[in-house]
Every structure is written in C-alpha cells, then in structure tokens.
Amino acid sequence: MSFTIHGLPVSQGIAIGHAHLVSRALLEVNHYHVAERHVADEVRRLDDAVAAVRDELGALKLTAASSHAHGEVGAFVDLQLIMLADPLLVDAARTLIQERRCNAEWAMVQQMEHLVAQFEQIEDSYLRERKADVVQVVERVVKSLIGHPGHLPPKRRDGLGTIIVAHDLSPADTIGFRDHNIAGFLTDIGGPTSHTAIVARTLAIPAVVGLHRIRELVEENELIIIDGTLGIVIVDPDEAIVEEYRLRRSELELKRSRLKLLRDTPSSTLDGRAIALLANIEGPGDVTHIRAANADGVGLYRTEFLFMGREDLPGEDEQFEAYRTVLKALAGRPVTIRTFDVGADKMLSMPNQREEPNPALGLRAIRFSLAEPQMFRTQLRALLRASAYGQLRIMIPMVSHVQELDQALTMIALARDELLAERHRIADRVEIGAMIEVPAAALAIGMFKKRVSFLSLGTNDLIQYTLAIDRTDDAVVHLYDPLHPAVLKLISGTIQAGTRLGMSVSVCGEMAGDPNYTRLLLGMGLREFSMHPTNVLEIKQQLLHADYSELAPRVQRILRMEEPARLREAVMRLAN
C-alpha cells in the first residue's frame, strides 16, 4: 500500500531505490535466503569466521600481555572467547542457517538481538551491561564474514540503488556508505546538524531523519522515493509518481551542471570584495569533491573520522599518510586540519570506554585529547610531519578555557622539538587556530590574541550550546535556531573582535553552506566560508550577486532587532 510520510530533510536531492532494513546501526548486514544446495557452505562460512575471530582474539591477548593494559584487555578477551564458545550464540545461529536458510551474517545478528533482549531483562546492572560484549563479539564475526562473501543473491537488474532504513545510524556507519551503492537513507531519530546528517551532505546522499516509526512501517525491498530537500518519503509509489520524481531528479541534475560553469570564476562580491570558499572534508576520499568545486582550500578536515568505526587506533604513519595526501593534493592551498573531535555523537568503538552521563557536555574534542595525551601526541606528530608537504593549519576544537589552548600549544611545541631532534622535515611556519563553538569563547575573544592566528566559528555547536539544544535530538529540533538574536550577536561579535585583534575568522558550521545565510554572514564582515564541497558553487553564485557595501549597514540594523519574527523577515529580505 502506498503512503507518504514527512520528516526532517537533512541532505538534499531525490533518491529512488529499494528499502534495506538495518537492525542495528553498527551491524548493517545483508539479509537474504541462501539456496538449499548452499546451506552447508553457508554453515562452513560461519564456522570459518568464528575460527578466524578466535585466532584474532588469541593474538590480541598475546599483544596485550606485553603492554600495561594487560589485565583489562586480557579479561575482556577471555569474556569474548567464552561467548564465542557458548552454544546459545554460534550453535543457535547455525540452526537458523540450516532451518530457515538465513545467510550467516543475518543469523548471527538475529541471535545477538535475541540475547541482548534477554540481557536487558537482568536486574543486576553489571550483568546487564555484558550485552555490550555480545554485540562486540558478533561484530567481529560479521566483519570476518563480510571479508569472505558467500553465495550472494543475484544483483538487481533495475539499476535502482539501496535505501537504508534504520532506527538510527552513527556517523561511522554513514561514512561506510561511500563504497556501497547507497542511494539514500531514512532514520527514526536524529537532527539536521547531527554528524550523521553532515556526512550524508558531504557524500551528497539524500536523507530524511526524525521519521519516528519508519523502521516499523517499511518492509524489506519496498520501493521508496526520498525527497531530501522537502523531507518527504513516499513508500510503494505508483509508476506515475516514480516518473514524476525521475523528472524532478533530472531537473536538479541540470541545475547542478549549470552551476559547474562557475567553477573557475573568482569568488568575489559585486563590489569586488574577495571571499575565500573553503571545503569541509572527512578524509582524503573527499579530495575529488574539492577539485570538482575548485574550492580555495580546506577550512575543516574532521580527522575523527579516521578513528571511528574501528577497534584499533590509527598510528602515526597511517595518520601522516592521510594528512599528507590532502596537503599534496591541494598543492599549496591552505588545509585546515582539526585535531580529533571525539565524543558526543562521535564515539570511538574501543573497549572499556567511559559511559558519559551527558556526552555533549562531557569529555569531547580538546577535552578528550588532553585526557588522552598519547593519542594526541601521535596526532600532533603526524600533522607536523605532514606540514612539509603543503600549507598546513592546525585547528583546536571546542576551546572554552585558555589553559586548554596553552596545553595544546605546549604539546605542539614539544612534538616539533622531538621531530626536529629525529631529523624529520617540518614546515617553518604552521598556523594554529581555535574553533569558537561555546558561548564562553565567543564572549572572550581577547583571550585568543597572541595565542592563535585564526578563529573558526563552529556554528553547529555554538547554536547547540547557546540554546541548550542537543543537536542530535529530534524532540528539540524545532528550537535549534541559527537566527536567534543571541546566536547572531555571538557570531557577529566574534567576527568583529577577531578581525580587530588581527586574527582571520571563518565560519565552518552548516550555516556557511546554506544560501539563506550567505548575505547575512557577508554583511557581518565574514571573508572565509567553509562548507561541504558540494555547496561551494551555490554559495559562490550567491556571492557573485551580493554587494557587501550595501549589505553591511542593513545587517547592522538586523543585529539590533530583538523581535525574532521581524528579524527573520529582514534576513529573508536580504536574499532578494
């Protein structure tokens, strides 16, 4: 039966494809039935994967034996080995393959969900929390299975992509879509500036979130249309509707290809004010998007994505390669690399992580880095080594206290001395900057003077922390307001104070890539906008038709307005 449902549009565009229901964010596995004649092979595939994980855990135990974390890691590995031998897990999954002809991944995940539900009934909180170990051991087996595919069902012939339908997706899951033919995704929960939504925009995958019960309403394989601009989802549409959306999709593609004509046009306003249009990226894979848009450099490289969705940590050499690749590809254009902003909705999948009572206000960003000095030192060394290959700028996220910045600066200086003593090549000058993401920092810009040479406004967090709105919670999403008078005062105050004190100021939050706010930010005096590479040309088009000298006094009047409705109307008028 066909029906339409509305949610929060988080990533523009139209996608048409078949639903694939995902049971848990991390364990996004294919569900299919194996042919009768392949059942024995599928059971063997499961047994091989289990044996491989057993070996992997054994090796992990040996490595841990020589490290200081011996006791903790040993106990956790033992626990996972016991679970792997428990008939309730692997034997039961084997039966599901034999009796219901489920593929091995699906069988393991079903059994895991059954066990997790049982753990959740347990009163003892210690035992209840052991469900995390079941999940982790199943993840290991699933990873091994994915590396050794079995007899997959035949590929679709209709050329339509897959639409992921999930209760929730983590940013790490979403970044994994890059290499799979994923046309779009839908989730029950989430907000427009959650990192999952941000990654969807970078990958240009249409997405709608905050749909509440989509996971229950849709069936595996059902045809779905997503309008990621309006937040509309049509399930099981008839042929006429599909045709209409195909047409709309072609119109959007035409619009995008027209924008490509602006690729080599210098970005400046009607009255000749040059504006830098920089890209936000999540990894070296995004370099092609930067080239397509001909961005002036990278304004935000979210390095935490290198650390997510894996159980080990990237070492110095691996990080060095990732940073160097981007610096070399940008051939002398500035590349602003943010030290990892782990925490809140970007958790690492490491064992024994502390449970955060309030993740957005806890150990996140620079706070996490300073609490894990070894990890931070490794990153700083990799960054400084990469500095020899381009114009590196290091950016520190979520600074609220000057001591945090001073400690980071000291660690950078120490890493530099170490590397020079080891005869590594390092650029003579690496600019250091700070992100302005909490109101305390925006109200005390003077404390950054002489410490850093640039500031970047992370408006996503600045709005979250100013208005006390969890950016991932769709229940309060209606209160998330970039045009709140308090938010605008903090943004414009930062641009003015930073510029007056000799620091360059950019905006790298989602506001910078939203054409509704281009004239407003320009009129505040902003000269550097950093956004998803896919938005660069649209923002350039806005700037080419804007006149800074005419906008500046109008924006000053808007900043004095206290009545939100009048203020909003005045901002919308700027665009005309």
Contact status: 173 vs ligand PEP (CB under 6 A)? no
CB of 396 to Mg ion, least distance (A): 12
Instruction: Tell me how far apart the alpha carbons of residues 506 and 525 are, in angstroms, rounded to a whole number.
Output: 10
The catalytic residue among 20, 31, 167, 195 is: 195
Q: Which stretch binds ligand PEP (CB under 6 A): 12-20, 73-81, 175-183, 455-463?
A: 455-463
CB of 336 to ligand PEP, least distance (A): 11
Is 422 annotated as belonging to a binding site? no
Reduced to 3 DSSP states, what percent helix, strand and coil does the chain have, rounded to the nearest 5? 50, 15, 35
Instruction: Tell me how far apart the alpha carbons of residues 43 and 48 are, in angstroms, rounded to a whole number.
Output: 9
Contact status: 538 vs Mg ion (CB under 5 A)? no
Please report where in the chains the tokens 């969900």 appear, as a residue.
113
Contact status: 459 vs ligand PEP (CB under 6 A)? yes
State the Rg of the chain over Cα.
25
Contact status: 523 vs Mg ion (CB under 5 A)? no
Residues across the chain = 576
Question: Based on CB atoms, which residue is closest to ligand PEP, 174 or 460?
Answer: 460
Given candidates 144, 460, 492, 535, which one binds ligand PEP under the rule CB under 6 A?
460
Contact status: 168 vs ligand PEP (CB under 6 A)? no
Contact status: 345 vs ligand PEP (CB under 6 A)? no
Q: Mask of contacts with ligand PEP, 550-569, x by CB under 6 A? A: --------------------
Q: Identify whether 148 is a catalytic site residue.
A: no
Contact status: 474 vs ligand PEP (CB under 6 A)? no
DSSP 274: B
Contact status: 282 vs ligand PEP (CB under 6 A)? no
Please report where in the chains the tokens 């930067």 appear, as a residue.
290
Show the tokens assigned to 135.
């999940």
* 438-469 exposure pattern, b = at least 16 Cβ within 10 A, e = fewer: bbebbeebebbeebbbbbbbbbbbbbbbbbeb
Q: Mask of contacts with ligand PEP, 189-228, x by CB under 6 A? A: ---------x------------------------------
Instruction: Tell me how far apart the alpha carbons of residues 543 and 482 are, in angstroms, rounded to a whole number.
Output: 20
DSSP 304: G
Is 437 annotated as belonging to a binding site? yes
From the list ligand PEP, Mg ion, none, pick the one residue 302 interacts with, judged by a Cβ distance below 5 to 8 Å according to partner type. ligand PEP
CA dist list (Å): 491 to 193, 307, 434, 459, 484: 17, 30, 15, 8, 11
Is 302 annotated as belonging to a binding site? yes
From the list Mg ion, ligand PEP, none, pick the one residue 509 interacts with, judged by a Cβ distance below 5 to 8 Å according to partner type. ligand PEP
Q: Give which of 322, 289, 317 is closest to 306, Cα–Cα.
A: 322
CB of 445 to ligand PEP, least distance (A): 17
3-state secondary structure of 335: strand
Enumerate the β-bridge partners of residue 302. Answer: 338
Q: Mask of contacts with Mg ion, 419-458, x by CB under 5 A? A: ------------------x--------------------x
CB of 458 to Mg ion, least distance (A): 4
Q: Identify whether 508 is a catalytic site residue.
A: yes
What region does 431 belong to: left with phi over 0, alpha with psi -120 to 50, or beta?
beta
DSSP 33: B
Count residues near ligand PEP (CB under 6 A). Answer: 11
Residues 188, 167: contact at Cβ < 8 Å? yes
Contact status: 509 vs ligand PEP (CB under 6 A)? yes
3-state secondary structure of 170: coil
In this structure, the strands spanning 276-281 and 431-436 are unpaired
Instruction: Pinpoint the alpha helices (H) of 422-474.
Output: 439-442, 459-467
Footprint on residues 287-326 left by ligand PEP (CB under 6 A): 300, 302
Question: Based on CB atoms, which residue is closest to Mg ion, 322 or 508?
Answer: 508
Is 36 annotated as belonging to a binding site? no
The catalytic residue among 20, 167, 484, 508 is: 508
Q: What are the binding residues? A: 302, 338, 437, 460-461, 471
**Residues annotated as part of the active site:** 195, 508
Where on the chain is the footprint of ligand PEP (CB under 6 A)?
A: 198, 300, 302, 341, 437, 458-461, 508-509
Which positions touch Mg ion (CB under 5 A)? 437, 458, 461
